[in-house]
Structure 1
Amino acid sequence: MASLAQRARLLIRFPRPQICAQCRRSFGSTPFLESGHNKWSKIKHEKAAADKKKTMMRTGFSEEIALHSKLYGPDLKFNPQLARLVSEARKSSVPKAVIETAIARGQGLSSEGAVLENVTFEAMVPPAIALIVEVETDRKPFYTQEMHNAIKKAKGGLSTSKFFFTRVGRVTFGKGEGEGAGVGVDDIMDDAIEAGAEDLNHDADGNIVVHTQPTQTRQVCDAIAAKHDLRILSSGIVWVANEDTKTKLNSSVASIAFADMLDAIRDLPDVQSVYSNVSRGDNMTDEEWARIAENLDVY
C-alpha cells in the first residue's frame, strides 16, 4: 500500500479532474433545469400582458380624443373635455404623436395632414352572413385590396349587404365624475327622451348606452354629458342587424374561418368599425363565440 507521502506526490502529478455542479450526475429522476428558465418565462408573460394593457389604454385614449375633437373642435382652449382627455393621456404616458394623430383624425386628417376618406365596404360570407366594414383612410385602393383578400379567405366576396341592417344613432356614456359618479339610466331617462332617445340600457361594463335616430345623436350628447357630468366614450351612427336577417354560424370550421377573417380585418389600422348579422350557433363553444363577438361593434 502506498504511503501518505507517495499519495501526495501522485496527486500533484495527476490531479483529480474538477466536475462542475451542472455536470455532476444526478441520482434523482427530476431533470436538471438551468437557473432562471422559469423566471424568464414568467417575465415574458408579464411583459406581454403589460404591453397588451398599454396598447388598450392608448387605443381608448385615441378613440376618445378623436371623438371630442370631432364633436367640439381641436382647440384645447375652447374644448375643455378634450383638454381634460389630453391631460389624462399625458399623465398616463401616452406619446405626444399618438395624441396629435388622434386630434387630427377627429378633424378628418391624417398625421401628415392628408384628408381622410370615409369608405364603407359591404360583403357576404357563407352561409348568408352580411358584413359591413367602415374605414377612414387616405389609402382607399390599398384597403379595397386588403378587404378583398381577407373576405376571400372566408369564401366570401364584396357584395351589397346594407339591406340586412338599420342605421341607428348610439351614444355610450361612461361612469361619471363628481356629481355624476352614481348616475344611471333612470337618472337621465327624462332628459334623454326629450333629446330624442328611443332606448336606454346598461352595457356589460355598466356604461349607459342610448339609442336614437341618427340625426339626434349629437343632440343627445350635448343634452346629457354636461348636465349629468358623464363622460362620452363613443358617439356615432351604427349598423344594427335586423332580427329577421340574423344568421346562425354552426360549423366549427366555418366559425374559425370567419373569426380569422375578422382578426385580419381588425388588424388593419384604419378600420373604424365592423358590423355583421351573424349570431351564435347552437353548437358553438363560448371560446369560439367570444373570438367573433370581440371583433364586432354590434352583435
Structure 2
Amino acid sequence: MILKQRQHDILTKVVCFGVKHTAHVPGKRRGMLVNIMLRAFRLSRRASAVFQCPVLHPCRALHSSPVSWAGHNKWSKVKDIKIPKDAARARVIAKYTMMIRIAVREGGPNPELNVGLAQILEQCRNKNLPKTTIEGALKGAKSKPGVQYLYEATGPGGCKILIEVLTDNNMRSLNEVKRIMTKNGGALREGARRNFDRKGVVAASRDGISSEKALELAIEAGAEDVQEMEDEEDRPILQFICDMTSMKAVRSALESLGVHTLSSSLEFVSHTPSLLTQTQLETASTLLEALHDCPDVVRVWDNIQAQT
C-alpha cells in the first residue's frame, strides 16, 4: 500500500510539473518529462495503482522523444559471484590503465590539451588509484599505444553486447573474445550497434538524493534521463544521460545545483532492451564477468533488462 501511494505521489508531482512548465521547457527537456511520465505510468500499472488526475489532458501538448530505457544495475544483482577485494581492485586498476592508453592514443598525453584524458585521470584520483600506477600507464601509453576496436555480439536470450578492446594484436584479441562468447552462450555478430546511442554520461554521488529529487535535478540540468547505478565498489551513484554536445554544460549545471559529480564520459546507452529470464540473466552474468576478465577488454555495454 505504501508503494502504491508513493508511486501515486510521484506521478501526481511529475504530471502537474509537466503541465505547469510545458510551455517554457525546451524540446529536449520536454522529451525528458515524457520519459519520466511514461516510467511513472509503468510503475503504477505494475502495482495496479489507480490514478486519476483532472490535468492529464493538457499534457498532450508535450512532444515525446524516444523513450530512454533504464540501466541494468538491478538485473546484475542476480549474480552470486563474490570477487575478492584485492582481485576487484586489480581489475579496476587494469581497466583504467587501458582507458588511459586509449585516451592518449586519441588525443595525446597532455591532459591540459586532451579533455578525455583529463576526465579519466580525474576518475583515477576519485578511486584513489596509486600515483605510480597512473604515471606508469601514461608512460606505457606513449611507448606502446595499441589500437582500439569495437566488437558487436549477441548473448543469451538475444541480448546485444558491445565490447571495446585495446590491443597490439587484433587477431589474438578477436579469437579470445570469440572463445569467451562461444563458451558462454553468445557469438560475435554484426548489428548490435544499432541498439545503442552514443551519449554523454555524467556520474554523480547519490548521497542524500532520492529518486524523485534525481528526476528533478535531471530536468533542471537539461539531461535526457537519469539512472540509479552502482560503481565498481558497489556504492550507489547516479548517471545523468545527455546529448554528447551538452555533456559539459549538464555537468556544470548539476554542480551549480549542489550535486557532487564524479566523472563525465562518452558511453553507449541502449534504447531497445532485451528482456531476459532468471536463467538467461545468470548465464549473461557469467559471460560479462568473463569478458571483463579478458586483459584486452576495456569496456562492455549491454541492453539487458530483467523480465518482470
Match of 2:158 in 1: 128
Query: In 1, distance between residues paired with 2:104 and 2:262?
Result: 12
Q: Secondary structure at the match of 2:141?
A: coil
Alignment of structure 1 residues 226-245 onto 2, 5 Å: 230-243=260-273
Q: Closer, same or farther in 2 for the Cα pair 1:102/1:236, shift >3 Å?
A: farther
| TM superposition shift of 1:64 | 8.9
Q: Secondary structure at the match of 1:111?
A: helix
Q: Closer, same or farther in 2 for the Cα pair 1:85/1:75, shift >3 Å?
A: farther
Match of 1:107 in 2: none
Q: Secondary structure at the match of 1:115?
A: coil
Query: In 1, distance between residues paired with 2:220 and 2:137?
Result: 30
TM-score by length of 2: 0.52
- Between the two proteins, what is the percent identity of the paired residues? 18
Amino acid at match of 1:269: P
Alignment of structure 1 residues 68-79 onto 2, 5 Å: 74-75=109-110
Which structure is higher in helix share? Answer: 2
| TM superposition shift of 1:271 | 1.6
1:249 to 2:277 alignment: yes
Match of 1:142 in 2: 172
Match of 1:167 in 2: 197
Query: In 2, distance between residues paired with 1:162 and 1:209?
Result: 23
String of CA shifts for 1:270-292, please: whole Å, max 9, x gaps. 3222223333357xxxxxxxxxx
1:94 to 2:124 alignment: no
Alignment of structure 1 residues 1-40 onto 2, 5 Å: none
Q: Closer, same or farther in 2 for the Cα pair 1:271/1:158, shift >3 Å?
A: same
| TM superposition shift of 1:100 | 2.3
| TM superposition shift of 1:165 | 1.2
String of CA shifts for 1:215-265, please: whole Å, max 9, x gaps. 33344345545885734334112131414xx232354xx555444332221
When Rg is computed on C-alpha atoms for both structures, the one with the higher figure is 1
TM-score by length of 1: 0.53
Match 2:90 to one of 55, 59, 78: 55
Match of 1:203 in 2: 229
Query: In 1, distance between residues paired with 2:172 and 2:165?
Result: 11
Unpaired segments of 5 or more residues in structure 1?
A: 1-47, 105-109, 283-299
Amino acid at match of 2:237: N
Alignment RMSD, CA only?
A: 4.5
Alignment of structure 1 residues 180-219 onto 2, 5 Å: 185=214, 189=218, 192-193=221-222, 197-203=223-229, 205-219=235-249
Alignment: residue pair count = 216
Higher relative contact order (CA 8 A, sep 6+): 2
1:117 to 2:147 alignment: yes
2:218 and 2:225 in contact (8 A); partners too = no
Query: In 1, distance between residues paired with 2:154 and 2:179?
Result: 13
String of CA shifts for 1:66-98, please: whole Å, max 9, x gaps. 899899975478899888777777xx57261x2
Unpaired segments of 5 or more residues in structure 2?
A: 1-82
Match of 2:290 in 1: 264
Query: In 2, distance between residues paired with 1:120 and 1:257?
Result: 22
Amino acid at match of 1:192: A
Amino acid at match of 2:276: K
